[in-house]
Every structure is written in C-alpha cells, then in structure tokens.
Amino acid sequence: MDFNSIVTNGLQAFVGLDAVYFALLAIGLNIHFGYAGLLNFGQVGFAAVGAYGVAMSVTTFHLPFAVGVAIGLLAGVALALLLGLPTLRLRADYLAIATIAASEILRLCFRSVALSKWTGGSDGLNQFANTFANLNPFTPGAKYGFGPFVFSAPDTWSLLVGWTLVGLCVLLVFLLMRSPWGRVLKAIREDEDAARSLGKNVYWYKMQALILGGVIGSLGGMFDAAQTQSVQPDNYGTTITFFAYAVLILGGAARVLGPVLGAMIFWFLLSITETVLGQLVSNGYITFITSSQAGKVRFMLVGLGLILLMVFRPQGIFGNRREIALDAR
Amino acid sequence: MLRSLPRPRLIRHLIAAALVATAGFVLVATAPAAHAAGEGLLGRVTVDSQPVANVSITVTKKGGGQVGTAKTGPDGRFTIGLPGSGDYTATVDPRSFPSGVKLLDPKGGSHTVPVSSDGTRFVIFPLTAGKQLGTAGGGGGQSNKHQPVRALQLLLEGIRFGLIIAITAIGLSLIYGTTGLTNFAHGELVTFGAVVAWELNSRFGLQLIVATILAVIIGGVAGGLNERLLWRPLRKRGTGLIAMLVISIGLSILARYLIQVFYSDRSHAYTDYGNQTARDYGPVNLTDKDLSSIVLSLLVLVGVALLLQRSRIGKAMRAVADNRDLASASGINVDRVVLVVWIMGGALAAFGGVLYGLSDQVNWEMGFRLLLLMFAGITLGGLGTAYGALVGSLLVGVIVQMSTLVIAPELKNVGGLLILIIILIVRPSGILGSRTRVG
Amino acid sequence: MPGDLPLSSAAASFEGLAQEPGVPKRDSVLVVDKVTRTFGGLAAVDVDHLEIQRGGITGLIGPNGAGKTTLFNLMTGFDRPDTGSWSYNGGSLSGVPAHLVARRGVVRTFQLTKALAKLSVIENMKLGATKQRGEKFLRALVPPTWRPQEIDIEARADDLLVRFKLDTKRDDYAGELSGGQRKLLEMARALMSQPEVVMLDEPMAGVNPALTQSLLGHVKDLRAEGMTVVFVEHDMDVVRDISDWVVVMAAGKIIAEGPPDQIMANRQVIDAYLGAHHDAALTIEDEDRQLADDKGTAS
C-alpha cells in the first residue's frame, strides 16, 4: 500500500476543484433546504443552465465570456422563477418531484439531436472559457503550493477563483441568516402558517430563497464548466443533486459553513476510498471486483453514508444534540 | 417519545440489511465478462428504438485513417477497440440499412467523439422507418397518409408501456398511501427484479418464465425486507417523512451502484424470446412477446384489483391508505398491512422490471429511469390510491409513446415529465382524486 | 392610553343588545356577511351576518364540527369562502391574503400551537414585529440599516417575555417549552405586531390547569389595553369567566348570541350541544356543578 499517495490524493481532493463545485451547489441547497425548508431536487438543473448559459453564449452566439457569465446567472434566475411561480405553493414532496422532473427535462433537452445545433447534443460544447484561462496570472508549466497541496498553474488559478467565490457566498449567507430576513426564512421552514399569521409574505420569501440558492447553484455550474472548458449533458444527471444533498447533510444543514466542510470531507473520503480500493484491487487483495468496479463502490458508499447520516446524525457530523432532540416531529 | 427502538438494535438491523442485500447479489450475480481493458468505442443502432442487426460501422482516427470496422449484433450493438486516446469518428454505412430505413437525423450518419485514455465512449445511431427529423415541420407531405396507422401502432405501444408503468407504480402508490413515504428507491426494486431474472436466465440457464416467477418471489422478499429492516424501525423511531425521503434517496444510490458493480454497466437482453418478428394484426403489428406482455400485465392488474376489492387484506390496505389512524383504531393491524403492501409492491416491481427488460433490455439504471414516469402516473391519477396509479400510469405510457408523433422520439420522456409538472400545478389531487383530499 | 379604559366600558357596550343571531353592535370592528364554505358538499360555514364589537371579548362556542375554526380561517385569509364578504374597520377583507390581514392588525393563533421549534424564544418573539427593515433582502445585507430597529424590537420582546413569565426561557429553543408555555409564547408573539384584533383558537386547549388562570389574566389584559379579542373555546367555565358576549355556532350557522349567562340557559344552545332529542340528562347547571366538583378535587 502506498500511503503517501493515498494521503496526498485525499488532501488534494479536500481542497480540490470538485470540492469547490459541490460546495457551491450545496451552499445553494442549504438556503433552499437548510434554511427555507424547500425540497429542491433539481439543483443540478440550476448548475446546467449556468454552465450552458455561458457555454452557448460564447460558442453558439459568439458573445464575450463576461456577457456569457451574466447570461448564465440570469438563466439561473429565470429557471427559479419558472419553477417557483407555479410550484412554491405545493406541498414539500410535490415540490421535490416537480423539481427533479424539471432538471431531467433540461438534461434531455440539452442532449437532444433537435437542439444540437445550439447545445452540441450529447457531445456538449468545448473550449468556450479561453478568456477565463487567459486571465491566469500563474506561469504555465510551473507548480504552485506547499506540502501535499501542489497544483498545476491552471488548477491553482481555478482554485483561487473557486475558493474566492465560495468565500463570498459563505459571507452572503452569513450576513443574511443573522438578519431578520433569515429569521423569516427559518420561521417558514418551521411552520409556514405561523409565519403567515405574523404578516410575512411566505410565497415571496420562498421565491427569494429559491432564486438566491438557484443562482449560487448556477454559479457552481458555471465555475465547473469554465474550469473544465466543457459542458456535457450527461454530467447534469440527478445523481449530482443527490450528492449535493449528501454533502449538505454531511456538513450539517442550516449551518453557514456546513456545505463547505461537507464538500471538503465528502471529496476527501471519496478520494481515499477510491485510492485504497484501487490499490487493494491492483495488488490482488480484493479479487471479486475489478478496478473499474472499485470506482463504483465509492458511490455505493455515498448512498450508505447518506442513509447512516440521516438515521443517526441528521444534524450533520458537527451538529449539536440539543437541536436534534427537537426533530421528533 | 416515540423512540422505542434502542439504538444498537437499529444498527444491527442496518448491518443485517446490508449483508442480506450483498449476499443476495453475490448469489445471483457475478459480473459477466468484464469489458476489455483499454480504449473502446461502443454503440448501438436502432430503428424507432428497436435494435437493428448487420449494420456496418467504420471508425477513423482524426488525422490517422481507418481504425476498425464492425457490424451490429442482434441487439443492435457494436464494439470497436481503439489504439489509444484521441478523437475518433464513427460512421454508419447507409447501404447496410434494412430497406425502407433511413437516418432519423439526416446529418447524424457520423459522430466524432474524444476518447480519453482507458476510456470508452458510447455512440448511438437512431434510424427511422418513418419520417426523418426536420421533415416534420412542413406540415402536409406524403408521410401524413400513414399517420393514423402510426398513431394506432403508437397507441398500442403506449398501452403496453403504460401497463408496465402501472404494475410498478401500484406498489409505490400504496406505500405512499399507507406510510406517507415518497420512496425514491422504488425504481431499484424494478431493476432488481429484472436483473435477478436475467442472472437466473442467462447464467443459470433457467427458462425465462421460470426465472421470472423466481424473480417475482425474490422481489417480494426484497420488498418485505425493506420494510422490516429499514422502514418499520425508522417509523417506530418517529423519523420524519422528509428525513425518510432523503434516506430513500441514499438507498436508491446504494442499491443502484450495488447492482451496477455486481451486474454490469451495460445492457443485456434475456436469452429467450430475443429475435421475434412482428405479426400483423389488421393495420398494426406486434411481436409475440409484446402481446404477451400486454396480456400478462392486464391479468396481473385484474388480479391486484380483485385482491384490493374482495380480500380482507385488500380492504384493509385501502382502509389504511384512506385513514391510517381510523383504520388502526378500528382494529386493523397497520404494521401487518404495510408489510403486505411492501411485499406486494416488491413483487409487482420485479414483474414490471422483467417486462421492461424484455422490451428494452436489462440495464442497471432502468428502474431509476422509470421512476419519474411512475411518479407522473401516480400523481396524474391521485397520490396514494391504487386505481389512480393504474389509470394515471396507463395515460402516461400512452402520452409518452404517442408524443413521438409530434416530437423527436429522444424527447418523448420530456412530454411525460412535463405532464407530471403540469398536473402537480393544476390539479395536485390528480384526475381521479377528490379535491378536498388535498390540504 | 388604552390601559386606562375602565373595565366596565367593554361590558357596557353590549348592554341592552337584542339576543338574536346577527344582531348589529354599537361599534363593530369585524363584520361578516353571507359567508359560506363547503367541503365536498357539506356546508362547514354558512353565516348570514355577524358583527364583532370593538374592545370586547367575544367567545365563539359550538359543538365539534360547528365550523368555528373554519370561520377563523376564512376571516384571517387562511381559507377562501365560496361566497360572501367580510370587512374590518369598514374596509373589505375579502380575498385579502393571510399575511396582509395580519399586517392590517388582525392576528390569530392556532388550535395546534405553532411555536417555531428550532428558533429560540426571543427569536420567535422578534419575528412577530411588523414593518422590520431587516426583512428586506438588500437591507438585510447592511446591518447598520436595521440594527437600531432590532434593538427596539428586542427591548419590546423582553418586556413582553417578562409579562408572560417566559423571560427565564429567553434563549431556549421554542421546541423545548411545555405545551402551556408554547400557548403563552404564541400569544405574546402575536402581541409583538401590536394588533387591534386578536383571534385565539382554543387558547386553553392542552394547557395545564396551573397555567389556565394566568392565561385568562393575559386575555383580560388585552381587553384592558383596548384590543378586541375573539376566541374559540370548549371549556364553559372559561367562556363564562372572560367573555363579554358569546356567539354560538352549530352546523356552520350562528344559532344564538348573547351575554354568557343567558346563553348558557338558552334552550337552543343546549339542544345544539346535546342533540335536539337528547334524553334530558344534564342541564347546563348540572354540568357546571360537575365541572366545579372536578376543579375542587383537582386542586
């Protein structure tokens, strides 16, 4: 066993690009699910419209990258309005089904032959974020970082931008959730009718929450797309939303830093299990699965982890007992 | 207050559940020949979603000339090994098409895909016996005279598909009705049934009918274990409905990848009833297996209806779904009823899975793909009722298939999902549900 | 100062009114006209006319399923009627959504208490205040724009908590309170919006007897401060103790109105409670005696 590579890979994943992507998705979900109690199961749809917003603007319509970013964010707002206007009056489980269906509709449309003229069909679009890559101040070919955290120049640039975005979003959530605005949101999560009886416009607050969380999800999708320079429809399947929920619940819903810690730990654990399983298989310790199957085993562990967390620690690994005692509703 | 179940017991239950599930898979499934290492290009050629054999495909490397050729097998599939990573172009030869068939997208005769090192890519060549994409817009045209016949054919296929959705959705609907659980892992019960039948059929050489009967029994046991080992203990602990919904998602992911690891990440057909040609029945045609699928579905559904209507347990199920507390107060053993609902739901899901696998091949995420259509069906019919699920699912199946009259077949599920959203918005109690039951 | 109003003035405003359903009041704050609401063909509410006197405590009684809570829901915008109109201070409330009804000064509580479990007691209280600047999205991001107001609100909330003897629970989660304390919190929270009309749906239900008197005292205090109180209650002792006027509902209709003592003796009311052809077992007096006995043994 090569423990050095296990730890190095794990630590790199801990602060890596996937952690940034899922931190952003989960910060958005935290606003929806953690604070407002909205069961949005279509978060990946927001990521998709953000990513495709920027990719199509640049590739298909030859607009500048910055305009593409603006369009991507607006697409997030538009999706939130489109979804929210009719569905926010629905019961929680109906909203879950409606949003998951909407995100699947988006994916099927993005990959359809009929729209491939604009979307690139099932192959998606590539090389639309050269502006982002060219802004990179780091020297190509050089390595940056310290200890195990050594990254190539493009990754260093992406990580710098990514974690800055995460930091800004965290600050935004922190400010909002300690304000009276956040108090109303939490009240709606606890009991809509109570909030209504105290003169709060529940529908409008839910809409604001859906838009805000959705736009942060779109930002995540955009970041991921810009950093990989590609969008592919099948990368926006419902599994991504489910993983974002796993991230959120791992770190603790309704906590400002919950989604960020969740994303870091999630990818750390996923990387470790992948490397360990991979080495066990290639060294012949495990014979009943192949190395390509070992990659899937970690997804099984995500599912198992989500079940165990929800059963034993629904408040997340850092949550407090006192709060969970109230959950026996 | 409600947490009567001590914690270590729950842990034991969960571990037991995991062991049983794993053992089950090891027993019935060991991966079929793992795919060859190295880069590869896989693909499939279909005519209106049915596989086509003996179509020639040529693969060239960008700037590197021809790499290989292949012909599709009876399942419409082909595999071509590649010398390394890079951009490859797969081109289909129109001269090898069956007569009267052309490319669905006239420009879709070749696909260029980047293949990463050690990666495989999948390409699909959809062909059609009807009109091509882009020729639909003009309105009129000579294809119109076949339209009524095609509509009839699609209606029939829609009924077949709708009945499969109905069989799988009844369990989902009754579980929701009796326990309030929105079970996102129900699709995996469908996949489980199809995969178990496939393993018994292909690996152990059992005839498909025998394999199906066994798969249905195993599916029922799986459903019952779900309830006994996971959901009942959780209910006794007073776990909230939303928490249970998230748990069912975890279970769905776990089960799906478990199936993928132990079954395969590819699609396979059953060894029986593979290559059937359609018989003409007046203006429409059907293969024998599709006809059997329709007849068997109808028989099963009538059986379920009789069970619900006539038997004691059936009446108890409806009573619990209608008002859990009232049913409990009037002496019905709710836990027992829920267990029976789960066993029935698991068995029906497995049966539906086999029928679905018979028409569309067995795949590790087939159930998950069906799940949203099941939701659409039971929402359309009115959540929590068995008959609503039946009618709603049938409608969804018909709408999904018939929508291909006006939209591209690849988008047919979009129609079903759109209906789901619209129904949720316009009439959340469903077409059969009464208005007052909501809220 | 509303608190200076003599207690007798509220009772006096009901003096000499005819005791018949729908009787006009001297100064009506709420007026309900021809409101109907049916559920699956069953008329839950069918009120021809009802006026609520300003500054009084009006009890709404009736057997289970009489439509009291439905009427509450309709008047506060939580449900929509099939027909009819209703107004508040002369302005129509028909079709006004619940949160706007609350902002105009009609707040309600619920039969099943809705304390916001995972908010602290003080957060619950502060939520009740209306016109909060910090509840606007953009201002929420700039604390200096809402801090001063928040400090005022917090001071007011603390005062009310002291008055309702919840100050020791200030920083506990509302979910940790007892049933009676939740009722108190809900009432105190409703007062944070400085309402004109307070509608209490079974304020005493599930409250332990030790807290009942204190709750009753708070309801009377509301009247003393000039607020109008409408409440639904089953306990006849409570109704007799605090109401100035009693409205009786049965099968969705208003069947009687009058001062508590006369209402309790009203034949129609007894019939409604016990069924028209009851076997003449208990009179209201009998029931009262029994209730009194129960109380005696309990304390």
Contact present, C78 and C148 (Cβ < 8 Å): no
Rounded to 5 degrees, φ, ψ at B154 are -65, -35
* Residue in A187, A189, A208 closest to C137 by CB: A208
Cβ under 8 Å to A: C residues 48-77:
76
Distance between CA C240 and CA B104 in Å, rounded? Answer: 81
The pLDDT score that the predictor gives to residue B23 is: 41
- What average pLDDT does this structure show over A134-159? 91
Q: Is residue B88 part of a domain?
A: yes
Task: Quote the minimal CA–CA distance from A179 to chain C in Å.
Answer: 5
H or E stretch covering C275: none
Q: Is residue B230 part of a domain?
A: yes
Q: Please answer yes or no on whether B420 and A306 come within 8 Å at the CB atom.
A: no
Q: Please answer yes or no on whether B420 and A101 come within 8 Å at the CB atom.
A: yes
Alpha helices in B104-146 (DSSP H): none
SS3 B102: strand
Asked if residue B117 and residue B157 are part of one domain, the reply reads: no
Contact present, B194 and B366 (Cβ < 8 Å): yes
- Across chain C, the runs of DSSP E, i.e. the strands, are 28-39, 42-53, 57-61, 83-88, 91-92, 106-108, 197-201, 228-232, 245-250, 253-258
Asked if residue B197 and residue B85 are part of one domain, the reply reads: no
- Phi-psi domain of A145 (left: phi exceeds 0; alpha: psi -120 through 50; beta: other): left
Q: Please answer yes or no on whether A183 and C76 come within 8 Å at the CB atom.
A: no
Asked if residue B97 and residue B57 are part of one domain, the reply reads: yes
Asked if residue B418 and residue B373 are part of one domain, the reply reads: yes
Which domain, by its residues, includes B315? 151-437
Distance between CA B283 and CA A208 in Å, rounded? Answer: 55
- If you measure CA to CA, which chain B residue comes closest to C79? B439
Residue type, B424: L
DSSP string of B26-75?
HHH----SPPPSS-EEEEEEEETTEE--S-EEEEEETTTEEEEEEE--TT
The pLDDT score that the predictor gives to residue A160 is: 96
Nearest to B192 by CA among B257, B249, B248: B257
Helices A43-59/A17-29 angle, 10° precision: 120
What single DSSP character describes residue B132? P
- What average pLDDT does this structure show over A148-173? 95
- What average pLDDT does this structure show over A25-47? 95
Contact present, B431 and B380 (Cβ < 8 Å): yes
- If you measure CA to CA, which chain B residue comes closest to A240? B253
Q: Is residue A148 packed enough to be buried (19+ CB in 10 Å), middle (13-18) or exposed (0-12)?
A: middle
- Contact list in C for residue A201 (CB cut-off 8 A) is 97, 99
The pLDDT score that the predictor gives to residue A165 is: 97
Rounded to 5 degrees, φ, ψ at C60 are -115, 115
Q: Is residue B173 part of a domain?
A: yes
Distance between CA C177 and CA C163 in Å, rounded? Answer: 17
- Contact list in A for residue C137 (CB cut-off 8 A) is 176, 181, 208
Rounded to 5 degrees, φ, ψ at B112 are -110, 125
The pLDDT score that the predictor gives to residue A293 is: 76
Rounded to 5 degrees, φ, ψ at C279 are -85, 35
ipTM of the complex in this document: 0.86
- Contact list in B for residue C39 (CB cut-off 8 A) is 436
Confidence grade of residue B125 (pLDDT, cut at 50, 70, 90): confident
Which residue(s) pair with C38 in the sheet?
Answer: C43
Contact present, A229 and A133 (Cβ < 8 Å): yes
Structure-block tokens of residue A144 = 């940056």
Distance between CA C211 and CA A191 in Å, rounded? Answer: 25
The pLDDT score that the predictor gives to residue B264 is: 82
| Lowest model confidence (mean pLDDT) among A233-242, B412-421, C267-276, C277-286 | C277-286
CA dihedral C117, C115, A172, A96 (to 10 degrees): 80
* Residue in A193, A200, A202 closest to C114 by CB: A193
| Pairs across A and C, CB distance < 8 A | 109
SS3 A93: helix
Q: Is residue C139 packed enough to be buried (19+ CB in 10 Å), middle (13-18) or exposed (0-12)?
A: middle
Neighbours of chain B (3+ CB pairs under 8 A): A, C
Asked if residue B327 and residue B400 are part of one domain, the reply reads: yes
- Phi-psi domain of C27 (left: phi exceeds 0; alpha: psi -120 through 50; beta: other): beta
Structure-block tokens of residue A137 = 């101040």
Residue type, B81: G
Contact present, B219 and A278 (Cβ < 8 Å): no
Q: Please answer yes or no on whether B242 and A39 come within 8 Å at the CB atom.
A: yes
Alpha helices in B134-278 (DSSP H): 147-179, 186-198, 208-225, 232-237, 241-262
Asked if residue B90 and residue B170 are part of one domain, the reply reads: no
Whether residue B143 has pLDDT greater than 60: no
| Lowest model confidence (mean pLDDT) among A266-275, A312-321, B268-277, B318-327 | A312-321
Mean pLDDT of chain A: 90
pLDDT in tens, A68-126: 999 999 999 999 999 888 888 877 777 888 899 999 999 999 988 888 889 988 889 99
The pLDDT score that the predictor gives to residue A321 is: 61
- What average pLDDT does this structure show over A150-174? 96
- Contact list in A for residue C73 (CB cut-off 8 A) is none
Class of the domain covering C2-115+194-298:
alpha beta
Q: Which residue has the higher pLDDT, B37 or B55?
A: B55
The pLDDT score that the predictor gives to residue B275 is: 72
Q: Which residue has the higher pLDDT, B119 or C240?
A: C240
Whats the size of chain C, residue-wise?
Answer: 299
The pLDDT score that the predictor gives to residue B436 is: 37
Q: Which residues lie below 8 Å from residue A233, measured CB to CB, with a gap of 6+?
A: A48, A107, A110, A111, A119, A121, A122, A124
For residue B345, give the CATH number of its domain: 1.10.3470
* Residue in C100, C116, C137 closest to A191 by CB: C116
C100 touches chain A (CB under 8 A): yes
SS3 C47: strand
Contact present, B124 and B46 (Cβ < 8 Å): yes
Cβ under 8 Å to B: A residues 190-249:
239, 242, 245-246, 249
Percentage of chain A beyond pLDDT 70 is 96
C154 touches chain A (CB under 8 A): no
pLDDT in tens, B52-108: 877 888 888 776 677 777 888 777 888 887 777 777 888 888 777 877 777 877 777
- Contact list in C for residue A254 (CB cut-off 8 A) is 118
Pick the residue of A288, A290, A291, A296 with the most B CBs within 10 A to test the interface with B by mutation.
A296
DSSP string of C189-235?
HHHTT--SEEEEESTTTT--HHHHHHHHHHHHHHHHTT-EEEEE---
- Contact list in C for residue A325 (CB cut-off 8 A) is 175-176
Apex C211 CA angle, C210 and C216, nearest 5? 120
Task: Quote the minimal CA–CA distance from C30 to chain B in Å.
Answer: 27
Say which residue the tokens 């809900």 belong to: C186
Say which residue the tokens 């895909």 belong to: B113
Structure-block tokens of residue B72 = 């599709």
Distance between CA B367 and CA B75 in Å, rounded? Answer: 20
- Contact list in A for residue C127 (CB cut-off 8 A) is 183-184, 187, 195, 198, 200
Distance between CA B101 and CA B90 in Å, rounded? Answer: 19
The pLDDT score that the predictor gives to residue B330 is: 83
What single DSSP character describes residue A63? -
pLDDT in tens, B175-194: 988 998 989 999 999 999 99
C40 touches chain B (CB under 8 A): yes
Cβ under 8 Å to B: A residues 162-191:
none
Contact present, B190 and B367 (Cβ < 8 Å): yes
| Lowest model confidence (mean pLDDT) among A313-317, B32-36, C125-129 | B32-36
Distance between CA B78 and CA B125 in Å, rounded? Answer: 11
Rg (CA), chain A: 20
Q: Please answer yes or no on whether B239 and A101 come within 8 Å at the CB atom.
A: no
Q: Is residue B320 packed enough to be buried (19+ CB in 10 Å), middle (13-18) or exposed (0-12)?
A: buried
Q: In angstroms, how far is CA A24 from the centroid of its own chain?
A: 5
What single DSSP character describes residue C164? T
Highest mean pLDDT among A23-27, A288-292, B273-277, C91-95: A23-27
Q: Is residue B337 part of a domain?
A: yes
- If you measure CA to CA, which chain B residue comes closest to C78? B439
- Print pLDDT tens along chain C (299 aa): 444 444 456 667 887 788 888 888 888 999 999 999 988 778 889 999 999 999 999 999 988 888 899 999 999 999 999 999 999 998 999 989 999 999 999 999 998 888 899 999 999 999 999 999 999 999 999 999 999 999 999 999 999 999 998 999 999 999 999 888 899 999 999 999 999 999 999 888 878 888 888 888 899 999 999 999 999 988 888 888 889 999 999 888 999 999 988 888 888 787 777 665 444 445 565 556 555 555 444 43
Asked if residue B181 and residue B114 are part of one domain, the reply reads: no
The number of distinct structural domains making up chain B is: 2
Mean pLDDT of chain B: 80
- Contact list in B for residue A270 (CB cut-off 8 A) is none
Distance between CA C236 and CA C263 in Å, rounded? Answer: 11
Neighbours of chain C (3+ CB pairs under 8 A): A, B
The pLDDT score that the predictor gives to residue A325 is: 59
Whether residue B306 has pLDDT greater than 70: yes
The pLDDT score that the predictor gives to residue B438 is: 31
B434 touches chain C (CB under 8 A): yes
Distance between CA B417 and CA B375 in Å, rounded? Answer: 9
Whether residue A17 has pLDDT greater than 70: yes
Nearest to B75 by CA among B366, B292, B357: B357
Apex A49 CA angle, B402 and A15, nearest 5? 130
| Lowest model confidence (mean pLDDT) among A59-73, B128-142, B323-337, C100-114 | B128-142
SS3 C59: strand
Asked if residue B229 and residue B112 are part of one domain, the reply reads: no
Q: Please answer yes or no on whether B434 and C40 come within 8 Å at the CB atom.
A: yes
- If you measure CA to CA, which chain A residue comes closest to C109? A197
Q: Is residue B11 part of a domain?
A: no
Highest mean pLDDT among A139-153, A209-223, A273-287, B331-345: A209-223
Task: Quote the minimal CA–CA distance from C38 to chain B in Å.
Answer: 10
The pLDDT score that the predictor gives to residue A196 is: 94
Nearest to B356 by CA among B149, B215, B253: B215
Q: Which residue has the higher pLDDT, B382 or B195?
A: B195
Q: Is residue B190 packed enough to be buried (19+ CB in 10 Å), middle (13-18) or exposed (0-12)?
A: buried
Contact present, B75 and B52 (Cβ < 8 Å): no
Structure-block tokens of residue B203 = 């690996």
Q: Which residues lie below 8 Å from residue C69, measured CB to CB, with a gap of 6+?
A: C111, C201, C232
Distance between CA B147 and CA B130 in Å, rounded? Answer: 10
Whether residue B14 has pLDDT greater than 60: no
Q: Which residue has the higher pLDDT, B383 or B153?
A: B153
For residue B122, give the CATH number of its domain: 2.60.40.10
Say which residue the tokens 């931190």 belong to: A23
- Contact list in B for residue A192 (CB cut-off 8 A) is none
Asked if residue B120 and residue B259 are part of one domain, the reply reads: no
Whether residue B393 has pLDDT greater than 60: yes
H or E stretch covering B284: strand B284-286
C205 touches chain A (CB under 8 A): no
Structure-block tokens of residue A145 = 């970082």
Distance between CA A120 and CA A114 in Å, rounded? Answer: 10
| Lowest model confidence (mean pLDDT) among B203-207, B274-278, B344-348, C25-29 | B274-278
* Residue in A96, A246, A289 closest to B261 by CB: A289
C41 touches chain B (CB under 8 A): no
- Contact list in B for residue A292 (CB cut-off 8 A) is 34-35
- Contact list in B for residue A300 (CB cut-off 8 A) is 253-254, 257-258, 261
Neighbours of chain A (3+ CB pairs under 8 A): B, C
Contact present, B387 and B381 (Cβ < 8 Å): yes
Strands B56-61 and B50-51: unpaired
- Contact list in A for residue C193 (CB cut-off 8 A) is 198-199
Q: What are the boundaries of each domain within chain C?
A: 2-115+194-298, 116-176
Q: What are the boundaries of each domain within chain A?
A: 17-129+151-257
Whether residue B222 has pLDDT greater than 70: yes
